[in-house]
Chain A
Amino acid sequence: MSKPRLMQGNEACVEGALEAGLRFFAGYPITPSTEIAEMLAERLPRVGGVFIQMEDEIGSMAAVIGASLAGVRSMTATSGPGFSLKQENIGYAAITETPCVVVNVQRVGPSTGMPTSPAQGDVMQARWGTHGDHPVVVLAPASVLETYVLTVRAFAIADELRVPVILLSDEVTAHMRERVQLPDPGALPRGERPRPGRAPANVPPMVHFGEGGRILVTGLYHDPSGFWTEKPEEADRLLRRLCGKVESRREELTLVERWYLDDARVAVIAYGCVARTALRAVRLARERGGRAGMLRLACLWPFPRHEVAALAEKVDAIVVPEMNLGQVLGEVERAACGRCRVIGYHRVDSELIRPEELVPVLEGV
């Protein structure tokens, strides 16, 4: 492990990306993700990589996909409005199976909203922001160290499954500075792209531009050769395989942390910055004799519905605090399927939920 140091969330994202082998970044300035671009503008050319500030958010997503298809690990970082603008090309990455990492540091929306304040309103956009059914993986860090770890993991998943991976951070986690000790270089798996002769089930091998493959990459429905097709059976086969490559790996992609759940009667399900609040609230409730616990979600999509279903069997109630009006809440209700009470707690005034407001909710159920 590295020497302990104080590090900002966005900085940890940069360190994780470079550790994962990032060599191309395209972005457009937007609060509160801009530190990532600024740091990479300095760092990337020093390791032989390329940073470019594009003319807009759409173009930066496009450039990232272009660079990835040329064989380079690529990333962009943005926030709310920019994330909306990138959606069409995120869908393009999904159908063309182009590995890429998109960091979205959530701020208060919709629209310009409150640019410097935290929110968790993009959970559904991260999953369903582009049109059409599509595969996507969404990771949500709750600390500076986890921002580093999940950034490395995002690249590994993106490459191995050939999918866009969204690192769904938030203004609190991104701007917070914490004491961290980073794992040694190479300690975390970096993953690799499927290549001819070495590809996992339902992920096709990837041939990069300039390798003599003379390939066609298209956002149209295409047959296994890559050429566009409008045959219904080919379309069906393609979409089911695309979604299936993530869906079939739901359990291995699941990333949860369990806190005090062994004897819990009430469980909090939380993610991102609010998980920090929830852990404090659970501890306060337990100090007062309550039997509270927490299931923290670090991978939001694919949604760990098997974990939630198992938890709902055990507890009387699940509380879902979010800095939105109930986005993960709906997924929890769906997975709990009436096995226990599910209660949402929402705050959308730009302030991080405080532990002392959550404790009564835990005690009231």
Chain B
Amino acid sequence: MEELRFLRREHLPHLWCAGCGHGIVLGAVVRAMDRVGIDQDRTVVVSGIGCSSRAVGYLNMDTLHTTHGRALAFATGIKLARPDLHVVVLAGDGDLAAIGGNHLIHAARRNMGITCVCFNNGIYGMTSGQYSPLTPAGFRTATAPYGHLERDFDLCRLVQAAGATYVARSTTYHVHQTIEYVARALSHEGFSFVEVLTQCPTYFGRRNRMADPVRMLEWFRQRAVTVAQAGRMKPEELRGRVLIGEFHRTEEVPEYSRSYRDLIARLSGEGDGDGR
């Protein structure tokens, strides 16, 4: 229960719907913070706009609730101004992959020292259930009443291709994996990205015959395939499934704020930078 120190308990209960998965993800985040022993007075958690972005209201540390899609850009400023601080971004799928997609790929490309957790419920919950870039094809939303025609992003592959140096995916059904991946992401120096599938029974579930949150968790369990399992499966068996696990991890790319500090040190002729 040590992780409770990371919560502003005076502001609970949270505003999320009954059955919403965001509390599970937030729980995993604070347990991961506890596991890696994060210093809550040297950590800034940044969010954008959307249901998941309200998570920062409940975290007992420096928190920044920004504009829609821009959390990573705000976080970039914080990290560059104070490279010694731990900077974490919590954001939804619409926030990160649609309006904020540009900041996502460029934060990844720079290998900015930020841990980014994507609460992927495949829907815009705060505005009552419109489709997002992560809504799977065929499912119904408030703006896809006949079933969604677009393909969804594989956000982990996108972010990896853009240059992220730690990439993993989990679901709210797979709580232990989620805690472990977030913990590893928090311990990683460069841009780390963890996508967590989380259920929105209120808007996604009800329109897709999964109004019961337990059915949505069941759905996650059935859809999820680990990277190891997937290697042994045929392409047709993988159709409609979601890969979970760690996709990518490298320490070989320099973290951006460190590179900039090295530049400052080089220009001042004082050697090769601080913080080594």
- Which chain A residues have a beta carbon within 8 Å of chain B's beta carbons? 23-24, 26, 45-46, 48, 50, 52, 54-56, 58-60, 62-72, 74, 88-89, 92, 209-210, 212-220, 227-228
Contacts and interface: CB of A to CB of B under 8 A. Distances in A.
Nearest to B11: A227
29 contacts: A23-B81, A45-B260, A45-B264, A46-B267, A50-B81, A54-B73, A55-B73, A55-B103, A56-B102, A59-B70, A59-B73, A62-B74, A63-B76, A63-B77, A67-B77, A68-B77, A69-B77, A72-B81, A89-B70, A92-B66, A209-B62, A210-B41, A210-B44, A210-B82, A214-B40, A217-B64, A218-B65, A219-B67, A228-B65
B81 A214 contact: no
A214 B67 contact: no
Nearest to B104: A55
B77 A214 contact: no
Contact of B74 (A48, A65, A88, A216): A65
Main secondary structure of the interface of A (DSSP, over half): mixed
A67 B70 contact: no
B56 A216 contact: yes
Contacts, number: 131
Contact of A48 (B56, B63, B268): B268
A263 B57 CA distance: 61
Interface string B211-243: 000000000000000000000000000000000
Given A209-B85, A213-B62, A228-B57, A66 B41 contact: no
B62 A210 contact: yes
Contacts of B103: 55, 59, 62
Nearest to B44: A209
Sorting the interface of chain B by its residue count into under 10, 10 to 19, 20 to 34 or 35 or more gives 35 or more
In the A-B complex, the 7 residue pairs with the smallest Cβ-Cβ separation, listed nearest first, are A66-B77, A63-B77, A62-B73, A59-B73, A67-B81, A67-B77, A218-B65
Main secondary structure of the interface of B (DSSP, over half): helix
A231 to B, nearest CB: 15
B46 A66 contact: yes
Interface centre among B40, B64, B102 (most CB of A within 10 A): B64
A214 B60 contact: yes
A245 B77 CA distance: 26
Contacts of B73: 54-55, 58-60, 62-63, 66
A279 B85 CA distance: 52
B80 A52 contact: yes
Contact of A62 (B67, B264, B268): B67
Contacts of B74: 62-63, 65-66
Interface in B14-57: 40-42, 44, 46, 56-57
B78 A67 contact: yes
Contacts of A218: 57, 64-65
Contacts of B102: 55-56, 59
Contacts of B11: 227
A222 B95 CA distance: 22
Nearest to A89: B67
A71 B82 contact: yes
A69 B80 contact: no
B150 to A, nearest CB: 23
Interface string B76-117: 111011101100000000000000001101100000000000
A74 B67 CA distance: 18
Interface centre among A46, A212, A214, A215 (most CB of B within 10 A): A214
